[in-house]
Amino acid sequence: MRLFYRSIALVLCIALSTSTSLYATSGRTPLRVENGVVASASLTASEVGVEILKQGGNAVDAAIATAFALAVTWPSAGNIGGGGFMVYHGEDGHATSFDFREKAPLAATETMYLGLDGKVVNNSNHIGMLAIGVPGTVAGLYKAHEELGSLPWADLVAPAVALARDGIPISYALYSGFQQNQSAWEQHPSSAEVFLKADGSAYELGDLWVQPDLAKTLQLIQEQGRDGFYKGENAKLLADFMRANGGVITEEDLEQYEAVEREPVRGTYRGYEIISMAPPSSGGVTMIEMLNILEGYDLAAVGHNSAQYLHLLTEAMRRAYADRAEHLGDPDFNESMPLDELLDKEYAARVRATIDPDRASVSDETQFGNAYESDETTHFSVADKDGNMVSLTYTLEFGYGSRIVAEGGGYLLNNELGDFNAVPGVTDRSGQIGTPANLVAPQKRPLSSMSPTIVAQDGKPLMAVGSPGGRTIINTTLQLILNVIDHGMNIGEAVEAGRIHHQWLPDITTFEEGFFSPDTVNIYQGMGHEMRERGRQGSAMGVYHDRENGLFLGGADSRVGDSGAAGY
Ligand code: GLY
């Protein structure tokens, strides 16, 4: 099955180029290549990116092509109906980032999800038309291309058009994802048209999956750029679909949507430079705060995933996630976020001083909290032959987002507005956060945890990393960086290693099942921590520049079925 899947991709590759690609599906042994690498949740999409590199495209070109390809081959999170963030670091030292987070529509209000009793009605911030944010992906990719792209835009969208038009085989990951959402497809006729066969039956393993409406929308984007999505035929189609189904996104919302080029947030860790995403993602700030706290310990000596190590990580996580909940939101609506302090090493030292090296602290339940964030989303990383790197995370929020396809457009719409604090003023142990920084407002972006990150050394990119996983994203990316810098792992080992997650409240640490020995768990619990096991935490994708040997390494996490690193 996997071979069949790959053979389609290879036919596409051969049509585009005559030189040979190398690939590694996933695992602890990274792909090692000389000229550039892409690691993503879909090997087919990684190979599309590599073909662009071979055509002379740079890392941004390859990232754009990979992102559009993922919208076809990895529909649970790859998207044009969602949003995300791209971090770029050039070999010349130039670093920047692009924010294409979804926005609340103009008609949004702070209490739009609440009933007369002040409670969220029917989970409407997560499910249904009101949870859909104005999509940002196409605008973000287009802006990145305007600023940093080198090949023609149309060439970068072309492979995705072909994949949607000609079809891809249903892999096991697609098959099982479609199966799990069968009732959603049945509920929405526009979704059934895409995710079920014409006779209403489910797609089987190995079936050819053709997406003609998506191919048509991608072709509009290919020909008209940003406007192909935000104006004209697609804008009318989407606004009409909204009106007919109780949604509130209008043509005006689409017309007004702008992606933003932002200064990334920066920190250092043991002499390495950390370049990551600024608000409206909480990822960069929270991760750099944790790295600053952890820099005060000799983590290599403490030992990877020893009980003592996990204790120190937990205490750093607890404190940084509390700060995240209190302070962070969309910068356009929160002018006084204390970013300088949160990123400051002196502040981290004061926070570190509150950590007992032998005993767990207790999260203060009167402060802040946790709200549900889906584990879905997808991340990919790219390095080109010149050493430029892109780290890109984007999402529909839940797996397959709202599970609602824009009728006639062939693309899934997000349910990202669930990342807002839905109930103003109510923060409790059950999972609500009601802090003002992240309340709903028209044209506001919900706070994100996406953490696309580039680690540099002496001003040159060393590795690009990130992961899906809702609020766990920040901790997954943190542990990946520690795995390389403190524990000397290669990028394959680093993405595969077991991970933990703590997010202040609830005051519980989750351990990935199958990675931690009972005696480690016993010692950890003996320090006063509550823990429980969970399934996979994220799906990290990383690329690394081994300058000593003149090689690029790609690590694709085996936690997702179709993942793979490709290069040449
Ligand atoms: N929806 C996941 C995130 O933005 O972090």
- By the 10 Å C-beta count (0-12 exposed, 13-18 middle, 19+ buried), 20 is classed as exposed
Distance 451 CA to ligand 1 centre (A): 9
Nearest ligand 1 atom to the CA of 446 is: 4
- For ligand 1, atom 3, which residue shows the shortest CA distance? 448
Nearest ligand 1 atom to the CA of 395 is: 1
pLDDT at res. 158: 98
Report, as an integer, the average pLDDT of 432-445.
Answer: 89
Which residue, 497, 455, 544, 118, is CA-closest to 313?
Answer: 497
Q: To test the ligand 1 pocket, which listed residue (79, 448, 453, 476) has its Cβ within 8 A of the most ligand atoms? A: 448
Distance 84 CA to ligand 1 centre (A): 8
- By the 10 Å C-beta count (0-12 exposed, 13-18 middle, 19+ buried), 148 is classed as buried
Q: To test the ligand 1 pocket, which listed residue (76, 287, 397) has its Cβ within 8 A of the most ligand atoms? A: 397
Distance 197 CA to ligand 1 centre (A): 31
Give the model confidence (pLDDT) of 246-287 as tens digits. 999 999 999 999 999 999 999 999 999 999 999 999 999 999
* pLDDT of 14 above 50: no
Nearest ligand 1 atom to the CA of 283 is: 5
d(C-alpha 180, C-alpha 288), whole Å: 36
Catalytic residue (choose from 44, 286, 314, 377): 377
pLDDT at res. 431: 57
343 lines ligand 1 (CB under 6 A): no
Tell me the two tokens of residue 290: 């944790």
pLDDT at res. 15: 45
472 part of the active site: no
Give the model confidence (pLDDT) of 492-507 as tens digits. 999 999 999 999 988 9
Give the model confidence (pLDDT) of 340-376 as tens digits. 999 999 999 999 999 999 999 998 744 443 444 556 7
pLDDT at res. 370: 42
- For ligand 1, atom 4, which residue shows the shortest CA distance? 448
- For ligand 1, atom 1, which residue shows the shortest CA distance? 397
* pLDDT of 462 above 50: yes
